[in-house]
Amino acid sequence: MQIILKLTTACNLNCVYCSEGDLPAETLLQEIFFKLVDELPALLDNFGQRDAEFLFHGGEPMLYGQQNLRTLIDYARENLDGYDLRFLMQTNGTLIDDAWINFFRDEKISVGVSLDGYPELHDKNRRTKSNEPTAEKILSNLRKMRDAGLSVGTLMVFNSAATVDAEKLFDFIQANELHPKIHSVVPCGRAADVKNSAEIYDAWVALMKKLFELSLARESSKVIEPLDELVDAILGISPLRECSFNGTCGKNFVSVYPDGEVGFCGRDNLARCLTYGNLREKTLLELYTSTNAEKIRARQDYLQTHDCKNCSDWQLCHGGCAFEAVNFSGTLEAKYPHCSARKNFLSWLHGDGLKLLKTALVREKKRLRQSIRVKKQLRDEIENLGVDDACPL
C-alpha cells in the first residue's frame, strides 16, 4: 500500500497548473504521522499486506527539512519492524544539493523530479515566484544525482493543445538519460480555468503515438510511461501499475493531508472531492473502511454495469481516474472524461502499435542473426588457422 504524505502546502515555485492552487502554507504535524504509523499494521494486517510505501509529497516536500524527514523515517523503521518499507519523494528538483543527495542515498529514498520536457516546454509552466525559469537548474541537479549513482525518475505534465516537437522531446529524453512518466494536465487548482483540456488530451495521445514510433525506429531502451506499461499489459508481460489505468483507486492508496484529513488521491488536497475523515478523530482502519472510501471502491462496479459495460478496453482502463471523473462532472459515477480519446489511443496500441513493435522485433532478430553469422565465421576462421599462422614469431 502506498501512503501519500502531503508534508506541506508550501512551495518555492509558482507552476501554472499546480493542483494545490494557492493554499496557505501548512505543515504535517509529526504526531499525525506517528499515529498513522502506529495504526498502519492494523490496516495492512487486515488485508494481508506486508509492503508499505511512504511517498513524500507537497507543495515542495524538501521544504519540510532533512531533520524532520529523518525523524519520520526513523519512527517508521523502528515501529514497523517486519514490514517491507520503501520511501519515495516527488520534488520539483530545484533545491537539490550535495547534502540532499547524501540524504537521499543514506536514507534510501527513491526520487522523482518534475520536469516538463525540454526547457522551452518546461519553462512555460514551471517558474519561480519571481517568474524565473527553472529547467536548467533542474537538469544540472539531475546530472549531479546521476553522477552520485542515484536513479531518478521524472514526471512530465503535458499542458499544450499545440503540436509539440516530438523528435526534439525524444532527443532530449535520450540525451539526458531520463525515465519520464508523461501525464496530460488536469484542470484543477491553478489550472481550474483550463477550458481546452479535451484538446490537450488529444495532443497528448498524438504525442504518445509519435514517441512510441520513435522509440522503435531508433531502437531505444529508454522507458517512457505509460507507454511501456500499457504495451507490457497488452502482451501479458506484466500488470499495469499506473493508478489511472489499473483500477486500484481507493484500494492501494491512502493520502494524508497536512491537517490530518485522509483521502484517496494526492491531487485532491485543494478540492477535497471525497475525503474519509480526519486521522485525529478516527483510526486509519476506520477511515479506510468509511462510507466515502467504500464509494470510491464501488465506482468500478457501477461503471461495469453502466457506461463501461462490455467495453473491450476495460482491462486497460478500468473507468479511468476517479479524481478526474469527480473533478469534471461532480460525481464518481461518471466515466473518464477523455474516454473517447483514450479508447482511440488503446485501439491504436492494439493495432498499429503492435504492428510497429512486430516490425521492430523482426528487424532486431535479423540484426542478431547477422551478428551471430559474423561471429561464427570469425570463430571458424580462427579454428582453421595453423599454429604458425595464428601465432607468428
- pLDDT at residue 251, as a whole number: 87
Instruction: Note the pLDDT tens digit of each residue in 132-190.
Output: 999 999 999 999 999 999 989 999 999 988 878 999 999 999 999 999 999 999 999 89
Residue predicted with more confidence, 346 or 222: 346
The residue ranking higher by pLDDT, 373 or 219, is 219
Mean pLDDT of the region 186-203 = 93
Residue 375 CB-density burial (10 A; 0-12 exposed, 13-18 middle, 19+ buried): exposed
Instruction: Identify the band that residue 388 occupies on the pLDDT scale cut at 50, 70 and 90.
Output: low
Task: List the strands of the sheet with 152-158, edge to edge.
Answer: 180-184, 152-158, 109-114, 84-91, 51-57, 2-6, 253-256, 261-263, 275-278
Predicted pLDDT at 389:
54
Question: What digits encode the pLDDT tens for the residues 246-295?
Answer: 988 888 899 999 999 999 888 877 778 789 999 999 999 999 999 999 99
Averaged pLDDT score across all residues of the chain: 92
**What was the pLDDT predicted at 314?**
94
* pLDDT surpasses 50 at 365: yes
- For residue 302, which phi and psi values (nearest 5 degrees)? -65, -45
By C-alpha distance, which of 36, 40, 39 is closest to 5? 36
Residue 119 has a pLDDT of: 96
pLDDT at 76 over 60: yes
pLDDT of residue 393: 44
Higher pLDDT, 62 or 48: 62
Give the tens place of pLDDT for each residue, 1-59: 999 999 999 999 999 999 888 889 999 999 999 999 999 999 999 989 999 999 999 99
- Residues 261-279: b if buried by 16+ CB within 10 A, e if exposed: bbbbbbbbbbbebbbbbeb
- pLDDT given for residue 272 in this prediction: 80
pLDDT given for residue 386 in this prediction? 58
Share of the chain above pLDDT 90, in %: 74
Whole-angstrom distance, CA of residue 256 vs CA of residue 2? 11
Q: What is the pLDDT of residues 100-125, one digit of tens each?
A: 999 999 999 999 999 999 999 999 99
- Three-state SS for 375? helix
Q: What is the DSSP track for 5-47?
A: EE-BS--SB--TT-TTTTPPP-B--HHHHHHHHHHHHHHHHHT
Q: Among positive and negative, which fits the CA dihedral 211, 212, 218, 223?
A: positive
Place of cell 571458424: 380
Residue spans of alpha helices (H) in the chain? 30-46, 66-79, 98-107, 119-125, 135-147, 166-175, 197-217, 227-235, 243-246, 284-288, 291-304, 314-317, 322-329, 339-348, 354-384, 387-390
Contacts of 29 (CB under 8 A, 6+ apart): 258, 260
Mean pLDDT of 210-224: 92
Whole-model pTM: value is: 0.90
* Rounded distance between C-alpha atoms, residue 161 and residue 120, angstroms: 15
- Residues 209-216 have a mean pLDDT of 96
DSSP 182-235: EEE--S-GGGTT---HHHHHHHHHHHHHHHHHHHHHTT-----BTHHHHHHHHH
366 has a pLDDT exceeding 70: no
pLDDT at 311 over 50: yes
